[in-house]
């Protein structure tokens, strides 16, 4: 297919237009007084959302060069969402400010490669300062973090309750409810590292998640690669269940292809998952999964072959949810007494172990085994309202878990204003210093957008905030009052704050240092059927 190529300033202008298209749409959602964005769907009702990355993913621009800019800035949001689960709007807005200022300086003669070096050095200083500023989160502050993320006190409370029930490292899943209210329940279950073995098993392409309900679970430490390994077992099982999850050391070659084909044809709801751990630890973790689900571990060590598997050997669960990175078993049907015996065995091994590393791994296994799974069911009057609320709950859960992981910092954009002060003492060569200065300026953008979305003029407040940053003073956009952000409960997870600036800088560097763009030539639009031709064939065929 023929390609079109554009260079230098023309290319940079197109990239900036794409970035602006995404950032202007996403920026409208920022903060407690941010607005929603409506999304057209090919099928079903439109969706209304307050979630930045969801908005960004929907944007597809007609101009192919502008679309490259849009997709690049989406990467900042996606990476932030993958690492921290929230902060996607912030990452996009900082990236937009960096791109705007960076391209202006490049157009004025700055060398983009030196600007890049300056940005890379500056972001290291800023992220180190954010980590230094972070303080451990207290139990009562979890509610506040979740409330701030979701902009809803009820959501904040239910997430804090869920975390209290399953522990700060416990598994919390969100599903669509059947009533008007939000509900919380806990079930037997566990989460482990490693996800699906092929993206073809995905059942929700938007979130790249594979989900099997009312699952029968085959658990084995074997590697399955040939049809001879797989077919006899499937013939035994497909007569009795259509919902099959296979957790194995690995599944590859013909065996994996056969499962994928059956899934795509709809003849079998199947999910193949790579077993967690390595060596002896893998076998122990598979035995834990067997205990939670009430299944049997199929292993040569106990004299079991795959072709001998029956329905009684399979574990059971209400649901299995798998991403590319991890898998969650919800509502395992294991015997409570056997799970308790397994727990006691792990505790005994911990007491007898003399290795700190082994004790740490045993503690991880114990937490996964007994932690259970908290399920938040999100209800609403309409499907559109429920989806919008579910997005907010997901972000709030991620934000709270991020706060537990790396602590909290002052919210309202204050953490960025505090962290950027470290750049005042960073002196580099002239052109590298440009990178430092544009990051210093860009870190003001989150505060400014929060104020603008509240109908306030940021310039009226910025100097007083800058003069009182040591006291964590910021703007409460709900009241228009300057106050201590930590004392007011306006707090952000340090992990979200750090990830947002890291990923914004990474994407901005890619755009600032781009000098040419290549895209397919646009295809001529096909005429509408019947247009311009009158009635085909006239009326000669009528009798």
C-alpha 62 chain-centroid distance = 27
pLDDT band at 527 (very low <50, low <70, confident <90, very high): low
Give tens-digit pLDDT for 100-135: 999 999 999 999 999 999 999 999 999 999 999 999
Taking 50 as the threshold, does the pLDDT of residue 543 lie above it? no
pLDDT band at 306 (very low <50, low <70, confident <90, very high): confident
- Select from 13, 118, 88, 50 the least CA-distant residue to 399: 88
pLDDT band at 539 (very low <50, low <70, confident <90, very high): very low
| CB-based contact 247:320 (threshold 8 Å) | no
Least confident of 40-49, 98-107, 243-252, 515-524: 40-49
Map out the domains of the chain as residue ranges: 3-135+408-520, 136-186+372-406, 189-334
Average pLDDT over residues 92-103: 98
Range with top average pLDDT, 118-132, 201-215, 222-236, 346-360: 118-132
Helix, strand counts (H, E) of the chain: 18, 20
What is the percent of the chain with per-residue pLDDT over 90, rounded to a whole number?
Answer: 72
Taking 80 as the threshold, does the pLDDT of residue 512 lie above it? yes
The reply to whether domains 3-135+408-520 and 136-186+372-406 share a CATH topology is: no
Cβ density class 244-269: b for 16+ within 10 Å, e for less? bbbbbbebeeebbebbbebbeeeebb
User: 169 φ, ψ to 5°?
Assistant: -100, 5
C-alpha 4 chain-centroid distance = 34
Structure tokens at 59: 């944007």
Q: Which CATH number fits domain 189-334: 1.10.3720.10, 3.50.7.10, 3.40.50.720, 3.40.50.300?
A: 3.50.7.10
Give tens-digit pLDDT for 413-429: 999 999 999 999 999 99
DSSP assignment string, 346-369: HHHHHHH---HHHHHHHHHHHHHH
Taking 80 as the threshold, does the pLDDT of residue 526 lie above it? no
The pLDDT mean for the chain works out to 91
Structure tokens at 201: 């098993």
What is the percent of the chain with per-residue pLDDT over 70, rounded to a whole number?
Answer: 96
Strand, coil or helix: 481: strand
Structure tokens at 536: 């085909």
Domain 136-186+372-406: give its CATH code.
Answer: 3.30.260.10
Cβ density class 285-319: b for 16+ within 10 Å, e for less? bbbbbbbbbbbbbbbeeeebebeebeeebbbbbbb
Give tens-digit pLDDT for 378-412: 999 888 888 889 989 999 999 999 999 999 999 99
pLDDT band at 308 (very low <50, low <70, confident <90, very high): confident
Taking 80 as the threshold, does the pLDDT of residue 1 lie above it? no
Least confident of 52-56, 285-289, 460-464: 52-56
Give tens-digit pLDDT for 269-302: 999 999 998 888 899 999 999 999 999 999 988 8
pLDDT band at 466 (very low <50, low <70, confident <90, very high): very high
Helices (H), 209-252: 227-237
Structure tokens at 247: 């957790």
Alpha-carbon gap, residue 298 to 360, rounded angstroms: 27
Residue with tokens 């300057």: 482
Which stretch of DSSP H or E encloses residue 476?
strand 473-476
**Checking DSSP bridges between strand 243-248 and strand 269-274, what pairing results, if any?**
parallel
Half-sphere exposure of 360 (CA within 13 A, CB side): 3
- Binding-site residues from annotation: 29-32, 86-90, 412, 492
Taking 80 as the threshold, does the pLDDT of residue 168 lie above it? no
Give tens-digit pLDDT for 137-157: 998 899 999 999 888 999 999
pLDDT of residue 529: 59
User: 492 φ, ψ to 5°?
Assistant: -125, 150
- Select from 233, 191, 197, 217 the least CA-distant residue to 293: 217
Q: Which CATH number fits domain 3-135+408-520: 1.10.357.10, 3.40.190.290, 3.40.50.300, 1.10.560.10?
A: 1.10.560.10
pLDDT of residue 541: 45
The set of residues, in sequence order, having a beta carbon less than 8 Å from that of 62 and lying 6+ positions away, is none
- Binding-site residues from annotation for ATP: 29-32, 86-90, 412, 492
Average pLDDT over residues 168-182: 86
């Amino acid at each position: 297919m023929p390609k079109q190529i554009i260079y230098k300033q023309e290319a940079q202008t197109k990239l900036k237009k794409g970035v602006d298209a995404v950032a202007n749409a996403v920026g409208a959602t920022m903060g407690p007084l941010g607005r929603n964005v409506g999304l057209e769907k090919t099928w079903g009702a439109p969706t209304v959302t307050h979630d930045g990355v969801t908005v960004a993913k929907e944007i597809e621009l007609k101009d192919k060069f502008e679309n490259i800019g849009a997709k690049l800035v989406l990467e900042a949001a996606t990476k932030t969402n993958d690492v921290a689960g929230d902060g996607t709007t912030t990452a996009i807005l900082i990236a937009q400010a960096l791109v705007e200022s960076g391209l202006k300086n490049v157009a004025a003669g700055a060398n983009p490669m030196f600007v890049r070096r300056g940005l890379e050095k500056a972001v290291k200083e800023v992220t180190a300062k954010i980590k230094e500023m972070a303080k451990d989160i207290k139990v009562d502050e979890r509610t506040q973090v979740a409330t701030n993320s979701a902009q809803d006190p009820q959501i904040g409370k239910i997430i804090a309750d869920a975390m209290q029930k399953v522990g700060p490292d416990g598994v919390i899943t969100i599903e669509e409810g059947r009533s008007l209210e939000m509900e919380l329940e806990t079930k037997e279950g566990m989460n482990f590292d490693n996800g699906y073995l092929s993206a073809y098993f995905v059942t929700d392409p938007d979130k790249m998640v594979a989900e099997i309900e009312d699952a029968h679970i085959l658990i084995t430490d074997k590697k399955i690669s040939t049809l001879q390994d797989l077919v006899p077992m499937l013939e035994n099982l497909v007569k009795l269940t259509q919902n099959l999850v296979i957790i194995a050391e690995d599944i590859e070659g013909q065996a994996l292809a056969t499962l994928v084909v059956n899934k795509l044809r709809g003849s079998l709801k199947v999910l193949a998952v790579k077993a967690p751990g390595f060596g002896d630890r893998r076998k122990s973790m598979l035995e834990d999964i067997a205990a939670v689900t009430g299944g049997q571990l199929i292993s040569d060590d106990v004299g079991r072959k795959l072709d001998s598997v029956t329905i009684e050997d399979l574990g059971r669960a209400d649901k299995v949810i798998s991403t590319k990175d991890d898998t969650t078993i919800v509502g395992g049907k294991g015997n409570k007494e056997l799970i308790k015996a397994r727990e006691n065995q792990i505790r005994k091994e911990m007491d007898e172990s003399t290795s700190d590393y082994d004790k740490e791994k045993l503690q991880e296994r114990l937490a996964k085994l007994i932690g259970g799974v908290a399920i938040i069911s999100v209800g609403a009057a309409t499907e559109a309202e429920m989806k919008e609320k579910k997005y907010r709950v997901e972000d709030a859960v991620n934000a709270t878990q991020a706060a537990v992981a790396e602590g909290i910092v002052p919210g309202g954009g204050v953490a960025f204003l505090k962290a950027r002060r470290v750049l005042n003492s960073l002196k580099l060569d002239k052109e590298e210093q440009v990178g430092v200065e544009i990051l210093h300026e860009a870190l003001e953008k989150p505060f400014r957008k929060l104020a603008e979305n509240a109908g306030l003029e940021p310039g009226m407040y910025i100097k007083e905030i800058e003069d009182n940053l040591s006291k964590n003073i910021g703007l409460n956009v709900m009241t228009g009052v300057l106050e201590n952000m930590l004392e007011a409960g306006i707090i952000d997870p340090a992990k979200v704050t750090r990830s947002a600036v890291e990923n914004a800088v990474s994407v901005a560097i890619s755009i600032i240092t781009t000098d040419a763009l290549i895209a397919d030539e646009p295809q001529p639009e096909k005429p509408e059927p019947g247009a311009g031709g009158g009635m085909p064939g006239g009326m000669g065929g009528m009798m």
